[in-house]
């Protein structure tokens, strides 16, 4: 499975947007922001996340040491002529996806036990989760290295839309190729 340019550009965009997203959830909370019911914001909006919480998209990264080690192994195999460059690229892509899925599942399991964290959506194969959680969850995840990026909540929807567009383009291309080869 090859990684499309759209996915690469999306993931690159998520890295540059992390600091902007974090800025919105890491500021100090004032007394007036936390007054009232836990299910009601300071403005009195019912159903919204309580103040001090945010709904954001997070990107989880796979074990970078394991990936680096695997890349070295592939390089050795390639230099020894045991695999082709194409095979090495496919194996690397597969290993990256496996590491991201494992890291995402591990992160999901760790935050599911936290009282104030809700996993709203998850795409473990892509390392994306949309969480509603206290700001400290996002900050701690970045500090611990569990998270690669924290983004606005709507980035999750944008990513899904982009995936659907790419799938439609791939299907159209495959149909066109099938038609011209017939």
- Residue whose structure tokens are 């206290």: 134
Hey, what domains does the chain have and what are their CATH numbers? 5-26+52-61+105-176 (3.30.70)
Q: What is the pLDDT of residues 157-166, one digit of tens each?
A: 998 899 889 8
Give pLDDT, residue 22: 38
Output the pLDDT for position 179. 75
Beta-ladder partners of 130:
57, 121
Specify burial of residue 156 (Cβ count, 10 A radius: 0-12, 13-18, 19+).
buried
Averaged pLDDT for residues 87-92? 93
How do residues 113-154 score in pLDDT, each as one tens digit?
A: 777 888 998 888 889 999 999 988 888 889 988 899 999 989
With a cut of 70, say whether residue 92 has pLDDT above it.
Answer: yes
How many CB atoms neighbour CB 129 within 10 A? 22
Question: Between residues 38 and 120, which one has the greater pLDDT?
Answer: 120
Instruction: Determine the pLDDT at residue 58.
Output: 92
In this prediction, residues 75-86 reach a mean pLDDT of 92
Q: How would you write 46-93 as a 3-class SS string?
A: ECCCCCCEEEEEEEECCCHHHHHHHHHHHHHHHHCCCCCHHHHHHHHH
Task: Write the Ramachandran bin of 36: left for phi over 0, alpha for psi from -120 to 50, otherwise beta.
Answer: left
CA angle at 125 for the pair 89 and 117, rounded to the nearest 5°: 145
Task: Give the CA angle between residues 50, 15, 6 to the nearest 5°.
Answer: 110
Helix (H) / strand (E) containing 123? strand 118-123
Q: What mean pLDDT do residues 74-91 have?
A: 93
% pLDDT > 90, the chain? 34
Instruction: Give me the pLDDT at residue 115, please.
Output: 73
- Chain segment 109-118, per-residue pLDDT in tens: 888 777 788 8
């Amino acid at each position: 499975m090859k990684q499309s340019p759209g996915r690469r550009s999306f993931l690159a965009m998520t890295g540059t947007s992390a600091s902007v997203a974090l800025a919105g959830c890491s500021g100090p909370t004032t007394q007036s922001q936390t007054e009232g019911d836990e299910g009601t914001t300071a403005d009195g909006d019912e159903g919204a996340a309580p103040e001090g919480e945010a709904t954001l998209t997070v990107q989880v990264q796979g074990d970078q040491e394991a990936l680096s080690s695997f890349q070295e192994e592939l390089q050795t195999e390639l230099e020894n002529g045991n695999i082709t460059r194409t095979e090495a690229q496919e194996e690397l892509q597969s290993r990256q996806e496996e590491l991201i899925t494992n890291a995402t599942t591990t992160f999901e399991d760790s935050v599911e036990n936290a009282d104030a964290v809700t996993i709203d959506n998850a795409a473990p194969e892509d390392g994306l989760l949309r969480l509603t959680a206290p700001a400290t969850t996002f900050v701690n995840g970045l500090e611990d290295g569990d998270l690669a990026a924290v983004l606005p909540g709507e980035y999750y929807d944008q990513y899904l839309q982009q995936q659907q567009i790419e799938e439609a383009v791939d299907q159209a291309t495959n149909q066109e190729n099938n038609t011209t080869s017939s």
